[in-house]
Structures are given as structure tokens and as C-alpha cells.
């Protein structure tokens, strides 16, 4: 039997940090070209072996049994002691336990036993972008540039144990859980592999979403907005969160085993999240910086929400103002895609034009051609909106006593967004010290002057500790089935 390979992208929350925790507001989510891959191959009888070949001490062996002692039969997944490895992986073990229990409900004991009769050999690998490559670049004596990152072999070894790795904030656990769970759903026949090959959202995607979202919440011990899992399953989107009540009863394991299918089924209308289509405009590219400092998201969230609760009137008007700006940004970016569709030649001329000029100059040319006006106005509008969102997020930070856009990020962003061809930028997600994002014009070459991307790289190299990431927006949208040999370097990670 050939290997089953499922990949899921990472995420960037461009706009909607903190707001998206409330179902009254939505967030602009971009899924990244950087992905997590899960490869399932037949293993040895009755054993499930999971390997993360990019880490030290990261092989976990499990046995499984069907527990029929209670009213609801479940699969119990137990780690097998291994003298060579002492680590545990709560995320992986819960993904196995819950997905196989769901398979037991859907397929029955005989069919599940058949699927598992030869055991499973599972390999998990994340694109290099999920983990900081700063030390790797230093070791190789390479500058912090995109070209250097391309020289690091794919799925490169991090040299450390999982708890010690420095993450870049692309949502490794959500992408990992989604790819692992979805691969297991295919392996156990709960969803058909063919449902993951095309574009568009299918019931299979919704099933993968519901179970991944639940397992991710269970492993993290909390229910966040879930935009990271939604990005890993559905790709870039305008996301409105689900009501956490839907999984509340499953979060409490002490209540004894409960059936999963009625809650996690794609037909359960209590899953009220909303996913609207969203993508970045053509010939633009998202550029992310790994700042290599890190922030504690739950700590920031706790403080901001506490302030919001204690200052409800002021918070309400701030949230409303930010939400209007976020919605307008989504609409302006969508308008740019429409303008491209209407007239690709004019759009391309406009993007070439803005690539060599700073945003303040985009509308200042008295000789601007009539046909370019709509595109240039929309690009400038996107620029203004991102600046207004930044200002409001700084205000949120000031009022709640949280460093949402720290001074050094303000300096980096101010310098970056004033470069030619840079449309806008901000701090993603909860903000803090770990990352910034930029939206940069990327017209086909040749263009007049240095491409905006290279100008940004040059600027960033003058800031200590700032490394670009290779990630662009995912072309393949969300979770998808892969061909093992079509993913460079993936086969080489297998044992």
C-alpha cells in the first residue's frame, strides 16, 4: 500500500487580533506556503510509531486497545516505554486517541482493527519556516536573507528537543494536528482521499476541521478563537469563530467517555464558525519577519481581555472602530483582485508603478493616467488602512498596558512601510515581540529599480535579530493530499 501524505499550511492573522476571540468580529487570515506534512505508511503489527525526524529524542511508540468497559467504547492509546527515548507528546497522543475513537464509532471495531492490523508508521515534518533558522544561518556563515534560507535543506534538523525549539509563530501545533488528524481520517476511511484534492470546502474539510479544532483545544487545555486550525484546514479566509459551547462537554475527560460523532460530525449545526473567501491581490506578496524574541500569547490575551471587561464602554468603541478598519481592509484587498480580473494589463502597469515609488507618491503624479486611478487609489487605501489599524492596535496596547506593537517593532515597521513598493504592514495576531508582516508589490521582472522585496531585505539586515521567512501565501489553500515524491526532501525524512 502506498503512503498517505496530507499537508496543512501555517497561518498569519493580518488583522483581527483579540477581536476574533469574540464571534461578533472577524479576522483576516492568510495561510502560508509553509506547511506541516504527515506521512502514514504501514508499520509493524499493532504498533503505532510516530517520528519527528527534525528533533532530538522525538520517536514515540504506542499500542492501542479497544476499551469496551464503559457504555461508549473508545480506543485507548498507550505509550510504549522506550529505553532510548524518554519524551512524551501530548498533542500527538491525543490526536491518535481521539481520531481512532471517532473511527471506532464510524467504522466499527472490525474495520478499524483491519486498518490497524499492520500497524502505522507515521512521520511528521514541518517546513523550515516554522522554526527559527537564525542559528543555522549563523553556522553556515550566511546573511539573513531569503536566498540564504533557500540554501538550507528542506525539513532541516533543528538540533534540539521539541520543547527547546525557537518557533516563528506560524502555528506549528495547529498545522501539525490538522495534517496528522486529516491523514488519519483518510487512513481509516472516514473521509475519502479524493475530497482533499480539489479547491473548495467539502464536508470532508468540515469534518477534519471539527475534530482538529477539538483535539487542538484539548491539547492546549483552552479554547482560543481557533483561527489557526481554520487556516490549516480551509486556507486564507475571513474567519468568524465558533461558539465554544459546542465542545465544552468533550473538554472534560473526567466525565467518562462520551461519543464524539454527534458533536464532531460536519452535519452538527452547532458548529457556527464562518469562513468567507479571502486572498491577497495578484502580484503582491506577504513577507514575514522572525524577530526571534517571542511573546507569551495567553498572557497578552489575559491582560487585554481583563481591560476590555473592566472598561466596557471605551473598549466597545475601540473594538468597533478597529473592526470597521479591518473590514475595510478586507474589502479593499478584494477590490484589488477584482480590478486585476477586470483588466490585468492596467493592474500590472499600476503595480509596476507603485513598485518604484513610496506610498506617499502613489497619487501625487499629476500625469497619472485615468485608467490607473482606481488601482492606485485602492493600493493607497490599503496602505492608509493598515496604518490606521496599527495606530488603533497601539492604542489598545497603551490602554490595556500590553506591548502589542513594541517600540522596536514600530521602528522596523515605520522604516519598512515607507520603502518604495511596500503597501502596508503590522504586527500579526496578538502582536508583541515575535513577528511583523508586510504586504509588498511583486510585479514580474524586469522592473525599473530594485524589486521592493530586495529593498526590504536590505533594510531588515540593518536591524539586529530580524530574519525574513520564506513563506508566501499558500497557493494550495488549506489541507490537501500530497504525492510523496512531489514534495522536495520529504521522502528523505522517512525512516
Rule CB under 6 A: which residues touch ligand ADP?
52, 54, 89-92, 124, 126, 162, 167, 171-174, 176, 220
| Secondary structure (DSSP) of 424-454 | EEE--TT-SSSEEEEEEE-PPSP-SSS-HHH
Identify each DSSP E strand in 202-262 by its residue range.
Answer: 237-240
For the bound state, the minimum distance from the C-beta of residue 189 to ligand ADP, rounded and expressed in Å, comes to 24
Among 227, 278, 379, 380, contact with ligand DP6 (rule: CB under 6 A): 227
Residues 329, 337: contact at Cβ < 8 Å?
no
Q: Residue 15 or 176: which CB sits closer to ligand ADP?
A: 176
169 makes contact with ligand DP6 (CB under 6 A): yes
Residue 18 binding partner per list ligand ADP, ligand DP6, none, with a CB distance cut-off of 5 to 8 Å that depends on partner kind: ligand DP6
Task: Choose the one of ligand ADP, ligand DP6, none that binds residue 268, judging by a C-beta under 5 to 8 angstroms depending on kind.
Answer: none
**Pick from 297, 328, 331, 358: which binds ligand DP6 (CB under 6 A)?**
297
Q: According to CB under 6 A, which one of 3, 4, 8, 17 is a site residue for ligand DP6?
A: 17
Q: Which is nearer to ligand ADP, 73 or 154 (by Cβ)?
A: 154
3-class DSSP state for residue 494?
coil
Element (H, E) at 9: strand 4-15
Using CB atoms within 10 Å of the CB of residue 128, give its burial: 0 to 12 exposed, 13 to 18 middle, 19+ buried.
buried
Per CB under 6 A, does 13 bind ligand DP6?
yes
Give the whole-angstrom CA distance, residue 263 versus residue 211: 9
| Residue 358 grid cell | 513610496
* Candidate residues 7, 210, 225, 359; the one interacting with ligand DP6 per rule CB under 6 A: 225
Residue 125 near residue 490, CB atoms below 8 Å: yes
Question: Which of ligand DP6, ligand ADP, none interacts with 91 (beta carbon under 5 to 8 A by kind)?
Answer: ligand ADP
Residue closer to ligand ADP, measured from CB, 122 or 289 = 122
18 binds ligand DP6 (CB under 6 A): yes
Among 9, 126, 171, 451, binds ligand DP6 (CB under 6 A): 171
Burial of 258 (C-beta count, 10 Å sphere; 0-12/13-18/19+): middle
| b/e burial code for range 28-58 (CB count within 10 A of at least 16 → b) | bbbbbbbbbbbbbbebeeebbbbbbebbeeb
User: By CB under 6 A, is residue 397 in contact with ligand DP6?
Assistant: no
What is the C-alpha to C-alpha distance for residues 220 and 174, in angstroms, rounded to an integer?
10
Asked if 8 is part of the footprint of ligand DP6 (rule: CB under 6 A), the reply reads no
Least distance in angstroms from the C-beta of 474 to ligand ADP: 17
Decide whether 18 or 91 has the Cβ nearer to ligand DP6: 18
Amino acid at each position: 500500500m502506498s503512503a498517505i501524505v496530507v499537508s496543512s499550511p501555517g497561518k498569519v492573522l493580518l488583522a483581527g487580533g483579540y477581536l476574533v476571540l469574540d464571534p461578533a468580529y472577524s479576522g483576516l487570515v492568510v495561510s502560508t506556503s509553509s506547511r506541516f506534512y504527515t506521512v502514514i505508511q504501514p508499520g509493524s503489527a499493532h504498533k503505532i510509531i510516530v517520528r519527528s525526524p527534525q528533533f532530538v529524542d522525538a520517536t514515540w511508540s504506542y499500542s492501542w486497545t479497544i476499551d469496551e468497559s464503559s457504555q461508549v467504547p473508545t480506543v485507548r492509546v498507550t505509550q510504549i516505554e522506550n529505553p532510548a527515548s524518554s519524551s512524551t507528546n501530548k498533542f500527538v497522543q491525543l490526536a491518535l486517541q481521539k481520531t481512532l475513537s471517532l473511527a471506532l464509532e464510524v467504522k466499527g471495531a472490525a474495520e478499524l482493527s483491519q486498518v490497524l492490523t499492520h500497524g502505522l508508521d507515521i512521520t511528521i515534518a514541518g517546513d523550515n519556516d516554522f522554526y527559527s533558522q537564525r542559528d543555522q544561518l549563523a553556522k553556515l556563515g550566511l546573511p539573513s536573507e531569503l536566498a540564504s534560507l533557500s540554501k538550507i535543506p528542506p525539513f532541516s534538523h533543528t538540533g534540539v528537543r521539541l520543547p527547546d525549539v525557537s518557533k516563528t509563530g506560524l502555528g506549528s501545533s495547529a498545522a501539525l494536528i490538522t495534517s496528522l488528524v486529516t491523514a488519519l481520517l483518510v487512513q481509516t476511511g472516514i473521509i475519502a482521499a479524493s475530497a482533499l484534492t480539489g479547491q473548495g470546502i467539502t464536508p470532508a474539510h468540515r469534518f477534519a476541521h471539527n475534530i482538529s479544532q477539538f483535539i487542538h483545544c484539548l491539547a492546549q487545555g483552552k479554547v482560543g478563537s481557533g483561527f489557526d486550525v481554520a487556516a490549516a484546514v480551509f486556507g486564507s479566509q475571513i474567519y468568524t469563530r465558533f461558539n465554544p459551547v459546542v465542545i465544552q462537554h468533550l473538554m472534560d475527560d473526567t466525565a467518562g467517555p462520551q461519543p464524539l460523532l454527534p458533536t464532531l460530525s460536519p452535519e452538527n449545526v452547532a458548529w457556527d464558525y464562518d469562513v468567507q473567501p479571502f486572498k491577497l491581490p495578484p502580484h503582491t506578496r506577504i513577507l514575514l519577519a522572525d524577530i526571534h524574541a517571542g511573546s507569551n500569547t495567553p498572557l497578552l490575551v489575559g491582560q487585554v481581555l481583563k481591560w476590555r471587561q473592566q472598561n466596557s464602554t471605551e473598549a466597545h468603541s475601540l473594538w468597533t472602530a478597529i473592526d470597521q478598519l479591518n473590514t475595510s481592509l478586507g474589502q479593499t484587498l478584494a477590490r484589488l483582485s477584482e480590478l486585476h480580473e477586470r483588466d490585468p494589463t492596467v493592474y500590472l502597469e499600476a503595480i509596476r508603478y507603485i513598485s518604484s515609488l513610496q506610498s506617499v507618491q502613489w497619487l501625487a503624479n499629476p500625469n497619472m493616467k485615468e485608467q490607473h486611478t482606481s488601482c492606485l487609489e485602492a493600493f493607497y487605501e490599503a496602505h492608509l488602512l493598515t496604518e490606521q489599524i496599527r495606530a488603533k492596535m497601539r492604542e489598545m496596547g497603551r490602554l490595556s498596558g500590553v506591548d502589542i506593537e513594541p517600540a522596536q517593532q514600530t521602528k522596523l515597521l515605520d522604516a519598512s512601510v515607507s520603502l518604495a513598493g511596500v503597501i502596508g504592514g503590522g504586527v500579526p495576531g496578538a502582536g508583541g515581540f515575535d513577528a511583523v508582516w508586510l504586504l509588498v508589490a511583486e510585479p514580474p521582472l524586469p522592473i525599473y529599480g530594485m524589486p521592493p522585496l530586495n529593498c526590504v531585505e536590505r533594510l531588515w539586515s540593518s536591524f539586529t535579530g530580524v530574519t525574513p521567512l520564506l513563506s508566501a501565501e499558500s497557493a494550495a489553500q488549506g489541507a490537501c493530499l500530497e504525492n510523496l515524491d512531489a514534495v522536495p526532501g520529504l521522502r528523505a525524512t522517512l525512516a
